[in-house]
Amino acid sequence: MHAISFQDVSYEVTQKKILSQITGHFTKGRITTLVGPSGAGKTTLLKLCNGLLTPTTGQIHILNRAYEEYSPPDLRTTVGIALQAAPMIRGTVYDNLALPLTLKKQTLPPQKAAHYLEAVGLSKDICQQDARDLSGGQRQRVSIARTLINEPAILLLDEITSALDQAAADSIEKLIMQLNQQHDVTVIWITHNLEQALRVSDEVWVMIDGKLIQQGTPAILQQPTHQQVQQFTEGALR
Amino acid sequence: MSYFTLSLTLFFILIPLVLSKTLRLDLERDVLVATVRAIVQLLLVGYILTFVFEGNHPLYMLIMIIIMITTAVLNARKKGQHIKGITWKLAVTITTVEVVTQGILLGFKIVPATAQYVIPISGMMIGNAMVLSILFLNRFAAEVDAHQDEIELILSLGGTPKQAIHHQLIQAIKAGVSPTIESQKTIGLVQLPGMMSGQIIGGADPMQAVQFQILIIFALLTNAAISSIMLGFLSYPALFTKQMQLLKEQ
Ligand SMILES: Nc1ncnc2c1ncn2[C@@H]1O[C@H](COP(=O)(O)OP(=O)(O)OP(=O)(O)O)[C@@H](O)[C@H]1O
Ligand SMILES: [Mg+2]
């Protein structure tokens, strides 16, 4: 079953084509990584999945339902996203973690906040810290935890370990793989780190210049058969 | 005061002109245009007011007020061109301000329903609502622009546009209301309000001038609250698409 499928999806802004005719799918219950050079349109594709952008043309299906059948808040809680810049609202770390629930007029019990912080490798002592004072790596981790609070069926991750050292990145990778295996969460993961892609992926999408160049198992990165993919992996691994 | 005496005040125009020329501020044209406009507009208003006051007919007053509201709307909407439907949103806001103020003043018979009172007070209220609307629109645009990330974050977590923009909206509303509150704190100490000064120069009893001024500043407070809040709540939905996405400015 497809978690998300695309049929001829394009996205343009003022005459500029950012995504061209994407056709493909993300398999349910799997981890798919999205790789490709900077500016390839990876973030744009994730924002389409979460309804932050709407395709100019083409069809998207989410869990076998047409995209248009979802109300935006429904779509966005079913398909959660951890944004590339890991933005924080003003307030404390707790305010940020509780945000998904506050928006639904619910409260986040402090034990639950502590639990989520622990899961991403942070101490619960930072709950009352101003979120604007967090380090880059701490922000990324709070951002992941915040996205998980909505318990999305599909999880979109945009370069979530780019500011982390290897040990912290490893623990996040473990956490995501665990969520995937134990809770059947489908994961779409943008990474510029090809080794990370090889470690975590069931499937890989290679995007270049707004196009989906190749979709397959991690083998398409290890033994590239496609010329453009080969050029990209040589550049990226060098 | 004779027209000759009045024309001597043109010396006040010469000073900025000379300064602009020597310091190359390049403001001569603006100063001249502003001067000519001020003379023509005020003289015109003077004649019209004389006519309206003598006629003292409700229809003349209504027409005057409609002209004032229209001018205010056309002026303020330049600052809100990115907001769809800004013209009618401003018209509703400014009209509400006028209706509420006059409703209280005339309804409770605080001032008599004659052109002599209704027109100048309307002018002050509508002018003030216009300035506050512009202030609000500028600040709102700046707030939204500076915090697109946060707005998008809240949307991405399933929040509604209203939830997403709440903080920016409140900041801009506060920015609209607080100058009015601030200026009330120092009123009379730093400067005598224009209307009061005018009345005193015109020979009115200072205590009576003060009473009127108190009436005006209270009315301005209502004015500030209504105009920022109403315009805010009318305009924020235009910043989002039907699919609850933040519209990016081109
Ligand atoms: N609103 C927009 N208006 C114009 N161009 C845009 C807009 N949004 C994105 N782009 C352009 O679209 C292209 C794809 O951007 P996108 O952020 O999706 O790339 P990416 O693959 O995520 O890159 P990175 O790896 O650097 O994050 C870029 O060239 C970007 O400049
Ligand atoms: Mg990106």
Do the chains contact at B158 and A81, CB–CB below 8 Å? Answer: no
Whether B166 is in a domain gets the answer yes
Q: Does residue B249 surpass a pLDDT of 70?
A: no
The C-alpha atoms of residue B176 and residue A207 are separated, in whole angstroms, by 47
Instruction: Using CB atoms within 10 Å of the CB of residue B205, give its burial: 0 to 12 exposed, 13 to 18 middle, 19+ buried.
Output: exposed
What number of C-beta contacts closer than 8 Å exist between A and B? 63
Whether A109 is in a domain gets the answer yes
B159 → closest Cβ in A53, A80, A103? A103
Provide the residue count of chain A. 238
Do the chains contact at B157 and A100, CB–CB below 8 Å? Answer: yes
Does ligand 1 lie within 6 Å of residue A135's CB atom?
no
Does ligand 1 lie within 6 Å of residue A48's CB atom?
no
- In chain A, the number of structural domains is 1
A83 → closest Cβ in B156, B160, B241? B156
Residue B159 forms contact with A (CB below 8 Å): yes
For residue A74, which residues of chain B lie inside 8 Å, CB to CB? 158
Distances (CA, A) of A206 to A13, A30, A161: 22, 16, 19
Distances (CA, A) of A148 to A55, A100, A110, A153, B239: 26, 9, 16, 10, 28
A87 and B153 in contact (C-beta within 8 Å)?
A: yes
- The residue of chain B with its CA nearest to that of A76 is B158
Own/partner contacts of B200-209, CB < 8 Å, gap of 24 or more, are: none
The C-alpha atoms of residue A143 and residue A154 are separated, in whole angstroms, by 16
pTM assigned to the model: 0.87
Residue B190: what pLDDT?
67
Nearest C-alpha to atom 26 of ligand 1 is from which residue?
A: A38
The C-alpha atoms of residue A205 and residue A213 are separated, in whole angstroms, by 8
Calculate ∠ Cα A8-A206-A180, nearest 5°: 95
pLDDT tens digit sequence for A40-56: 999 999 999 999 999 99
B223 and B72 in contact (C-beta within 8 Å)?
A: no
The C-alpha atoms of residue B160 and residue A156 are separated, in whole angstroms, by 20
Nearest C-alpha to atom 10 of ligand 1 is from which residue?
A: A18
Q: If you search the block for the tokens 């003022």, which residue do you land on?
A: A14
Give the amino acid at B174: K
Nearest C-alpha to atom 4 of ligand 1 is from which residue?
A: A13
Query: Nearest to residue B134, comparing CAs of B60, B64, B72, B58?
Result: B72
The C-alpha atoms of residue B51 and residue B28 are separated, in whole angstroms, by 35
Do the chains contact at A76 and B157, CB–CB below 8 Å? Answer: yes
The C-alpha atoms of residue A109 and residue A121 are separated, in whole angstroms, by 19
Neighbours of B99 (CB within 10 A): 12
pLDDT tens digit sequence for B3-39: 888 888 888 889 989 998 999 988 889 889 989 998 9
The C-alpha atoms of residue A115 and residue B218 are separated, in whole angstroms, by 53
- Interior/surface letters B59-90, b for 16+ CB within 10 angstroms, e for the rest: ebbeebbeebbeebbeebbebbeebeebeebb
The C-alpha atoms of residue B54 and residue A18 are separated, in whole angstroms, by 67
The sign of the CA dihedral A104, A107, A112, A116 is positive
Q: Does residue B250 surpass a pLDDT of 50?
A: no
Nearest C-alpha to atom 5 of ligand 1 is from which residue?
A: A13
Whether A125 is in a domain gets the answer yes
Does ligand 1 lie within 6 Å of residue A46's CB atom?
no
Do the chains contact at A146 and B157, CB–CB below 8 Å? Answer: yes
Calculate how far, in angstroms, residue A120's C-alpha sits from the geometric centre of ligand 1: 28
Whether B127 is in a domain gets the answer yes
Q: Which domain holds residue A87?
A: 2-233
Nearest C-alpha to atom 17 of ligand 1 is from which residue?
A: A43
Task: Return the SS3 of A169.
Answer: helix
Calculate how far, in angstroms, residue A20's C-alpha sits from the geometric centre of ligand 1: 13
Dmax (CA) for chain A in angstroms is 52
Whether A150 is in a domain gets the answer yes
Whether B9 is in a domain gets the answer no
Residue A87: what pLDDT?
96
Whether B211 is in a domain gets the answer yes
Whether A238 is in a domain gets the answer no
The tokens for A40 are 């390839």
Ligand 1 pocket: which of A42, A160, A188 to mutate (most atoms within 8 A of CB): A42
Neighbours of A198 (CB within 10 A): 14
Distances (CA, A) of B56 to A64, B42, B125, B178, B227: 71, 20, 20, 37, 29
Whether B30 is in a domain gets the answer no
Residue B152 forms contact with A (CB below 8 Å): yes
Calculate how far, in angstroms, residue A129's C-alpha sits from the geometric centre of ligand 2: 28
Do the chains contact at B243 and A81, CB–CB below 8 Å? Answer: no
Residues of A with CB under 8 A from a CB of B: 14, 50-54, 72-74, 76-77, 80-81, 83, 85, 87-90, 99-100, 103-104, 146-147, 150
Provide the residue count of chain B. 250
- CATH assignment of the domain containing A53: 3.40.50.300
Residue A237: what pLDDT?
64
Do the chains contact at A150 and B150, CB–CB below 8 Å? Answer: no
> What is the pairing mode between strands A203-208 and A211-216?
antiparallel
Q: Which domain holds residue B198?
A: 56-239
- In chain B, the number of structural domains is 1
Whether B29 is in a domain gets the answer no
Whether B248 is in a domain gets the answer no
Whether A194 is in a domain gets the answer yes
Residue A193: what pLDDT?
92
Task: Return the SS3 of A54.
Answer: coil
Query: Nearest to residue B132, comparing CAs of B82, B84, B183?
Result: B183
Do the chains contact at B244 and A51, CB–CB below 8 Å? Answer: yes
Per-residue pLDDT for chain A (238 aa), expressed as one digit of tens each? 899 999 999 999 988 999 999 999 999 999 999 999 999 999 999 999 999 999 999 999 999 999 999 999 999 999 999 999 999 999 999 999 999 999 999 999 999 999 999 989 899 999 999 999 999 889 999 999 999 999 999 999 999 998 889 988 998 999 999 989 988 999 999 999 999 999 999 999 999 999 999 999 999 988 888 889 898 888 876 5
Residue B50 forms contact with A (CB below 8 Å): no
Whether B51 is in a domain gets the answer no
For residue B153, which residues of chain A lie inside 8 Å, CB to CB? 83, 87-89
- H or E segment and range at residue A176: helix A166-183
The sign of the CA dihedral B132, B137, B141, B147 is positive
